[in-house]
A and B are shown apart, each in its own frame.
Chain A
């Protein structure tokens, strides 16, 4: 019988400094508030016994995912556990350095020998003869196990009971089977294959329609059904080759280098080549070449005639304009002479006006002088007009001014006329310059057109020849030649068209033959080795999907069987413990039934009338159910288990005062046979245990936890 003697812990999870808890009394209570290191102390024992097996997701305990073993302020975690056996004390020591994977383990046997590593692990396994799962089910009641049972969600409660029964592996693996990936893949393949067969049918129908259309086309080209064969196609190619060669010969060109096809599959290439070759022969034929040259000459002559006619017309118009001008205005030289003469006349008039102005000024001055001398001949005769006047000076002034203004005014009128004349002559000179320039341009243009005409005629045009007339005569000649060639070329084109028609027939034949061959390929696709292999693969996939399903059923079956077996073994004890803990007057008997469903097994908690109980159980009752299940399993496993101890971690989470008292009573019963280690934050439970449990007890108070030191553990 294995009993706990002591545990010494350093650097493990919430424990920083080294601390020791001795289990020298039958009952040990670890008491303290939350986060004071109680659970760390219990977990340390578990870790020392099972190492990495009790850490991580595969424990089936959600809280263990990402579990940190080594305390954050310590370089390593180290736990020593003393187990008392019939042979004496075994000392287990497990350690793990920070940042390292794996643990170091040693075992000191009662006689003092030390085992290390794998040898020590093997020896430990023989000693405890219990898996981690069974340890959780029958020795160490985890607080998480009770918390999980308290859920109202049936699926989660099933999970929790599985965990209490140590069946987490089954449930976890079945989660992996829950997603039917393989079955979906199988369905996808079946759908894809079905789509492909649909495509195959559509393609076949489409091809049949195409073959029918192409056959009709072949017939419309004058071929019969019998012509659409490989043999006839090759014969048609031979005929086309002969036609192309004789066409080349007729044209006087080298024979076509065409390869005769061996079978219809080469006929399309042959047709393309033959068609290209016929077009090339036609293009290169002497008649066509001559026709091209004549057409080019005709186009050049047409252009030259057009240009020349235009230039000639423009020159004629400008010349008429120039003649008209000369007739009206005279030459530029005569205009310039006239301009010079008018300028000279204007100068003369200006001179006369100037002289008149000087004389006027002189006379005015003389009169003024006479007035100064008080010369006043009364009754004198005017030397200008010869009349007798009383005031000669006044009369002279008036007479002179009248005469003077008349003479100057006449001169000015004359001058203005001359200025106007001069302007008109200047304008005429400018117009003359413009017409001369225009005439020069038209002459140059005509000369250029004559040169172009000479090029089109391919000879010089004599000065006495009308280039347009010469060109028109030449055009007549070219047109006659073209008309003569037209007939010959039509004959050539007909010959080429006949060959092309044959080529077209052969092409149409090839299209039908190719479509028919493709149709045969598609028709026999289901017989292809690929298609057959797909069928084999489908069968193989179906087999594998069957295997997966069978495997899933096997896992579900084994899980249900084990669940049933464990529940059956603990059923009576479960009933006794549950009723003893709850004293629920409505429940005379409780039992758990394991039902197998398609998705896995489920647990039903039933009363004496086979009524489902969980729906009416309180949180406290559910807590009791979890404890009853643990105690029941523990009792059932008693004979097989080497452990003579039970560990409870926070067993009174949701219990009322009465239930706590009854729990203490149940622990009193359990304590008669087993060593008890109870961790609790519940002062009421601690007091009850002190009062109710008759075995001698020791209590460790966990207080003042700090990250630097861990908890302060004081033995009462």
Chain B
């Protein structure tokens, strides 16, 4: 069994989040295949970045109302 499967097996015991974490793992593996650790860093950043951008935008809108 390769490293991908071994990590995936461990994630299966994560309960309700296992599916999401499984998907995240697929993204990480794909990023690693594309460009090693640097690409993994970018991929992990991209996980929360869109949400962080939304928070920024919403806070900006609220600040305009102050």
Residues of A within 8 A of B (CB): 57-58, 131, 167, 169-170, 172-173, 175-179, 181-182, 185-186, 188-189, 192-193, 196, 199-200, 203, 521-522, 525, 528, 530-531, 533-534, 537-538, 540-541, 543-548, 550-551, 554-555, 557-559, 561-562
Q: Is the CB of B28 within 8 A of A173?
A: yes
Q: Is the CB of A196 within 8 A of B52?
A: no
B3 to chain A, nearest CB (A): 5
Select from chain B the residue with minimum beta-carbon distance to A167. Answer: B3
Q: Is the CB of B52 within 8 A of A189?
A: yes
Q: Is the CB of A554 within 8 A of B10?
A: yes
CA distance A344 to B44 in the complex (A): 126
Select from chain B the residue with minimum beta-carbon distance to A521. Answer: B65
Q: Is the CB of B62 within 8 A of A181?
A: no
Known: A185-B48, A551-B11. A537 touches B3 (CB 8 A): no
Instruction: Identify which of B2, B37, B61, B65 contacts A522 (C-beta below 8 A).
Output: B65
Residues of B within 8 A of A (CB): 2-3, 6-7, 9-11, 14, 17, 20-21, 24-25, 28, 31-33, 36-41, 43-45, 47-49, 51-52, 54-56, 58-59, 61-63, 65-66
Q: Is the CB of B3 within 8 A of A558?
A: yes
Instruction: Identify which of B25, B32, B48 contacts A551 (C-beta below 8 A).
Output: B25
CA distance A181 to B31 in the complex (A): 16
Say what secondary structure dominates the interface of chain A: helix
Number of cross-chain contacts by CB at 8 Å: 130
Known: A522-B66, A525-B62. A547 touches B20 (CB 8 A): yes
Q: Is the CB of A185 within 8 A of B49?
A: yes
Q: Is the CB of A545 within 8 A of B41?
A: no
Residues of A within 8 A of B61 (CB): 530
Select from chain A the residue with minimum beta-carbon distance to B57. Answer: A530
Q: Is the CB of B52 within 8 A of A176?
A: no
- Between A and B, 26 residue pairs with Cβ closer than 8 Å are A172-B32, A172-B37, A173-B40, A176-B39, A178-B37, A181-B41, A181-B48, A182-B47, A185-B45, A192-B56, A522-B65, A530-B58, A530-B61, A530-B62, A537-B54, A537-B58, A544-B47, A548-B24, A551-B21, A554-B7, A554-B10, A554-B11, A554-B25, A557-B10, A558-B7, A562-B6
Instruction: Identify which of B36, B41, B63 contacts A199 (C-beta below 8 A).
Output: B63
CA distance A597 to B36 in the complex (A): 23
Q: Is the CB of B17 within 8 A of A547?
A: yes
A203 to chain B, nearest CB (A): 5
Q: Is the CB of A199 within 8 A of B31?
A: no
CA distance A544 to B44 in the complex (A): 10
Select from chain A the residue with minimum beta-carbon distance to B47. Answer: A544
Residues of A within 8 A of B47 (CB): 182, 544, 547-548
CA distance A286 to B10 in the complex (A): 95
Residues of B within 8 A of A544 (CB): 24, 47-48, 51
Residues of B within 8 A of A550 (CB): 11, 14, 17, 21
CA distance A258 to B27 in the complex (A): 66
Q: Is the CB of A57 within 8 A of B24?
A: no
Residues of B within 8 A of A554 (CB): 7, 10-11, 14, 21, 25
Q: Is the CB of B21 within 8 A of A547?
A: yes
Residues of A within 8 A of B58 (CB): 530-531, 533-534, 537
Residues of B within 8 A of A541 (CB): 48, 51-52, 55
Residues of A within 8 A of B24 (CB): 544, 547-548, 551
Q: Is the CB of B36 within 8 A of A551?
A: no
CA distance A704 to B62 in the complex (A): 76
Residues of A within 8 A of B14 (CB): 550, 554
CA distance A196 to B58 in the complex (A): 11
Q: Is the CB of B44 within 8 A of A170?
A: no
Known: A547-B24, A551-B21, A554-B10. A58 touches B51 (CB 8 A): no
Q: Is the CB of B55 within 8 A of A203?
A: no
Instruction: Identify which of B20, B21, B49, B59 contacts A193 (C-beta below 8 A).
Output: B59
Residues of B within 8 A of A521 (CB): 65
CA distance A541 to B21 in the complex (A): 13
Instruction: Identify which of A169, A179, A203, A538 contacts B3 (C-beta below 8 A).
Output: A169
B8 to chain A, nearest CB (A): 9
Residues of A within 8 A of B44 (CB): 176-177, 181-182, 548
CA distance A175 to B59 in the complex (A): 33
Residues of B within 8 A of A545 (CB): 48
Select from chain A the residue with minimum beta-carbon distance to B4. Answer: A169
Q: Is the CB of A176 within 8 A of B48?
A: no
Select from chain B the residue with minimum beta-carbon distance to A183. Answer: B48
Q: Is the CB of B33 within 8 A of A58?
A: yes
CA distance A630 to B43 in the complex (A): 35
Q: Is the CB of B55 within 8 A of A537?
A: yes
Residues of A within 8 A of B25 (CB): 551, 554
Residues of A within 8 A of B54 (CB): 533, 537
Q: Is the CB of B2 within 8 A of A176?
A: no
Residues of B within 8 A of A551 (CB): 7, 11, 21, 24-25, 28
Select from chain B the residue with minimum beta-carbon distance to A538. Answer: B55
CA distance A179 to B59 in the complex (A): 26
Residues of A within 8 A of B7 (CB): 551, 554-555, 558
Q: Is the CB of B6 within 8 A of A534?
A: no
Residues of A within 8 A of B40 (CB): 173, 175-177
Q: Is the CB of B51 within 8 A of A537?
A: yes
Q: Is the CB of B62 within 8 A of A528?
A: yes
Additional A-B contacts beyond A547-B21, A551-B7 (19; CB < 8 A): A58-B32, A58-B36, A173-B40, A175-B40, A176-B36, A176-B43, A176-B44, A181-B41, A181-B45, A182-B44, A192-B59, A199-B63, A521-B65, A540-B51, A544-B47, A547-B20, A551-B24, A551-B25, A559-B3
Q: Is the CB of A182 within 8 A of B48?
A: yes
B33 to chain A, nearest CB (A): 7
Residues of A within 8 A of B49 (CB): 185
Known: A185-B52, A547-B17, A562-B3. A176 touches B62 (CB 8 A): no
Max count, chain A CB within 10 A of own CB: residue among B9, B11, B51:
B51
Select from chain B the residue with minimum beta-carbon distance to A525. Answer: B62
Q: Is the CB of B10 within 8 A of A558?
A: yes
Residues of B within 8 A of A196 (CB): 59, 62-63
Max count, chain B CB within 10 A of own CB: residue among A175, A176, A533:
A176
B52 to chain A, nearest CB (A): 5
Select from chain A the residue with minimum beta-carbon distance to B5. Answer: A558
